[in-house]
């Protein structure tokens, strides 16, 4: 099958890979670009575990063809913050105990970041809507909502 050259920026780093026309971004991220932090929970857009920012907009990587990301900037949880420079959301998730098994966390942080980039001071209803595409089976969402709310406040101050 014919392959095509995909070029993108992943967390600020220029990368390229040979991909098939029908390959989704999730598969390419995990298997060709080493971005294992992007999780595969359902591979059909139901769970949000593979959420990434594509030019700043949150998308499910499983519903995005890899070639749709050509020439674009992809940001995962690793690009949002690191140990040296954690994003307020990451600190807040840890401090509030918003993490249990952690499998939804990378996608959840990506969606939260996208939310705060659009609505810097969301109320609880807006927070819940902002992460409604991300399933979490462990936490009951309470602590996640509180963590996002708190991160928004911290960012403001």
Partner 1 sequence: MKKDPKDQLSNYEYQFIGKPVPRHDAWDKVFGRTKYADDFDMPGMLFGKVLRSSYPAAKILSIDTSGAEKMPGVAAVLTAKDVPNNETVTRFGQTHQVGGFEGLYRVLADKKVRFMGEAVALVAAETEEIAEEALARIKVEYEQLPGVFDPLEAMNPDAYQVGEGDSNIICNYQVRKGDVKEGFSRSHVVVENTYRVPFVEHAFLEPESGIAWIDDSEIITIRVSTQVIEHFRDVADVLGIPHNKVRVIAPMVGGGFGSKEDITVETFLALLTWKTGKPVKMTWTREGSIISSSKRHPYVMKYKTGATRDGKLMAMEAQLISDAGAHVYLSPWVLLYSTVDATGPYDIPNVKVDSYTVLTNNTFTSANRGFGAPQVCFAYESQMDELARRLSLSPLEIRKRNYLRKGDALATGRVLEYGVETEKTAIKALEALGEPSMPSSPTEKIGQGLASGMMSYGRMTFLHDTSRSYVGIELDGSVTVRCGVQDIGGGQASSLASIAAEILGVPMEEIKVFIGDTALTPIAGTTTATRMLYMSGNATLKAATEVKKSLLPKAAEMLEASPEDLVFRDKKVFVRGAPARAIPLADVVKACAADGVQLYNVAQFNAPFRELIDFKTGQGQVFPDFTFGSHAVEVAVDTETGKVRVLKLVACYDVGQAINPLSAEGQIEGGALYGLGYALTEEVILDKGITLTPSFSEYLVPTSVDAPHVKTIMLESRDGAGPFGAKGIGEPSCNSIAPAVANAVANAIGARILDLPLTPEKILRSLQKL
Task: Return residues touching partner 1 (CB under 8 A).
Answer: 36-37, 39-44, 46-47, 49, 76-78, 81-83, 86, 90, 93-97, 99-106, 109, 124, 127-129, 131-145
Of 3 and 71, which CB lies nearer to partner 1 in the complex structure?
3
- Shortest gap between Cβ of 71 and partner 1 (angstroms)? 24
- Shortest gap between Cβ of 94 and partner 1 (angstroms)? 4
Of 56 and 97, which CB lies nearer to partner 1 in the complex structure?
97
Residue with tokens 């462990």: 138
- Shortest gap between Cβ of 81 and partner 1 (angstroms)? 7
Pick from 47, 61, 86, 84: which is nearest to 10 by CA?
A: 61
Of 120 and 140, which CB lies nearer to partner 1 in the complex structure?
140
Of 24 and 76, which CB lies nearer to partner 1 in the complex structure?
76
Of 34 and 71, which CB lies nearer to partner 1 in the complex structure?
34
- Shortest gap between Cβ of 137 and partner 1 (angstroms)? 5
- Shortest gap between Cβ of 3 and partner 1 (angstroms)? 13
DSSP string, the chain: --EEEEEEEETTEEEEEEEETT-BHHHHHHHTS--TTS--S-SSSSS-TTEEEETTEEEEGGGSBGGGGTTSEEE-HHHH--SSS--HHHHHHHHTT--SS-SSHHHHHHHHHHHHHH-SS--HHHHHHHTTTS--SSS-SHHHHHHHHHHHHHHH-
């Amino acid at each position: 099958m014919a392959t095509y050259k995909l070029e993108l920026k992943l967390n600020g780093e220029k990368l390229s890979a040979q991909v098939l026309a029908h390959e989704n971004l999730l598969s390419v991220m995990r298997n060709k670009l080493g971005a294992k932090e992007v999780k595969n929970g359902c591979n059909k857009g139901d769970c949000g575990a593979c959420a990434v920012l594509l030019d700043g907009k949150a998308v499910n990587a499983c519903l995005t063809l890899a070639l749709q990301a050509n020439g674009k900037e992809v940001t995962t949880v690793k690009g949002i913050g690191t140990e040296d420079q954690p994003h307020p959301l990451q600190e807040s998730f840890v401090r509030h105990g918003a993490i249990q098994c952690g499998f939804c966390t990378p996608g959840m942080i990506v969606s939260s970041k996208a939310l705060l980039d659009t609505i810097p001071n969301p109320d609880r209803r807006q927070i819940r809507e902002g992460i409604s595409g991300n399933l979490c089976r462990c936490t009951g969402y309470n602590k996640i909502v509180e963590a996002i709310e708190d991160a928004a406040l911290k960012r403001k101050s």
